[in-house]
């Protein structure tokens, strides 16, 4: 079983490459954002719980997010593996994910980090914002604020996964095909 975390700043190409990995290696792609939206829209018990925190302006506790992810993993008992996209974002979430997976006799195989300069990411996101209409992709100040948030909270995960020998940086500035080839080389070796 290959369980991969796809890691990178907003606009790094995680969604594009997750789709490629999903098809190439027959993996289940779990996007935390999609899981949240599903639970909120369908008013599942976890969605109602999460909405309560969100309505109060609080962050949804890691335990609630992990329970949502566990539900997604449980839906696919015969999966060849999973791509976790958008989680973990902090070291405490990474520890919670490891604990959850170990209960299922699973573990993270690799963290694949798409590395792209912030200036290139700003251009990508501003272009995406024109097409998608996403407000958070149309304002450079907001984009750079997201990078600052990422750098302060998510970047420490690099050391967490390096210590486990599971961190693999990928140059995310090339063509989609060349990035996919780099990812394939790593995943085939897992």
> Could you list the active site residues?
14, 89, 128, 134, 146
Q: How many CB atoms lie within 10 A of CB 2?
A: 18
Rounded Cα distance between 39 and 67, Å, is 11
Question: Of 90, 95, 122, 123, nearest to 107 (Cα)?
Answer: 95
Three-state DSSP state, 87:
coil
Could you tell me which of 54, 62, 17, 21 has the C-alpha nearest to residue 37? 54
| Strands, E assignment, 104-143 | 110-115
**Which residues are CB-contacts of 66 (< 8 A; sequence separation ≥ 6)?**
93, 96, 97, 100
Return left, alpha or beta for 31; rule: phi > 0 is left, psi -120 to 50 is alpha, else beta.
Answer: beta
């Amino acid at each position: 079983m290959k369980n991969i975390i796809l890691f990178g700043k907003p606009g790094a190409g995680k969604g594009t490459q997750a789709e490629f990995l999903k098809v190439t290696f027959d993996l289940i792609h779990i996007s935390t954002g999609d899981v949240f939206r599903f639970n909120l829209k369908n008013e599942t018990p976890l969605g109602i719980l999460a909405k309560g925190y969100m309505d109060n302006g609080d962050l949804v506790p890691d335990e609630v997010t992990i329970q949502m992810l566990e539900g997604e993993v449980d839906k696919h008992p015969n999966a060849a593996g999973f791509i976790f996209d958008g989680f973990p974002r902090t070291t405490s979430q990474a520890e919670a994910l490891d604990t959850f997976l170990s209960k299922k006799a699973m573990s993270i195989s690799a963290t694949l980090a798409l590395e792209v300069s912030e200036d290139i990411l700003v251009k990508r996101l501003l272009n995406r914002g024109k097409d998608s209409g996403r407000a958070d992709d149309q304002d450079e100040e907001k984009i750079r604020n997201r990078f600052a948030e990422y750098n302060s909270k998510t970047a420490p995960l690099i050391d967490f996964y390096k210590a486990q020998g599971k961190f693999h940086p990928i140059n995310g500035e090339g063509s989609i095909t060349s990035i996919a080839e780099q990812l394939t080389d790593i995943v085939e070796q897992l």
